[in-house]
Amino acid sequence: TTTDLVAIEPRLPDALRSLSPRQRAAVVLVHAHGYGLTEAAELLGISVSALRNHVARGLRHLRAVLEEDSGE
């Protein structure tokens, strides 16, 4: 079998650690593990609206941190 390797930004783990625990969990569940919004919200015990906010804020923070670190 062929294993597909995914290139991961080397600074991503540190950037993820800089998020709040809720933001990190929301981003990882939705974007890394592919959970739907409803399922991820249920797992975290929050509303879908709150989950969307955590994901949006988390992604915005990650972009800012990674762009800042790259000098862009």
Convert the pLDDT of each residue in 46-63 to its tens digit: 999 999 999 999 999 999
pLDDT of residue 1: 47
Query: pTM, whole model, 2 decimals?
Result: 0.83
**Residues in the chain with pLDDT values less than 70:** 1-5, 69-72
Contacts of 69 (CB under 8 A, 6+ apart): 11, 15
For the chain, what percent of residues have pLDDT higher than 90? 76
CA end-to-end distance (rounded Å), the chain: 39
Q: Are 47 and 41 in contact (CB under 8 A)?
A: yes
Report the alpha-carbon distance of residue 26 to residue 28 in Å, rounded.
6
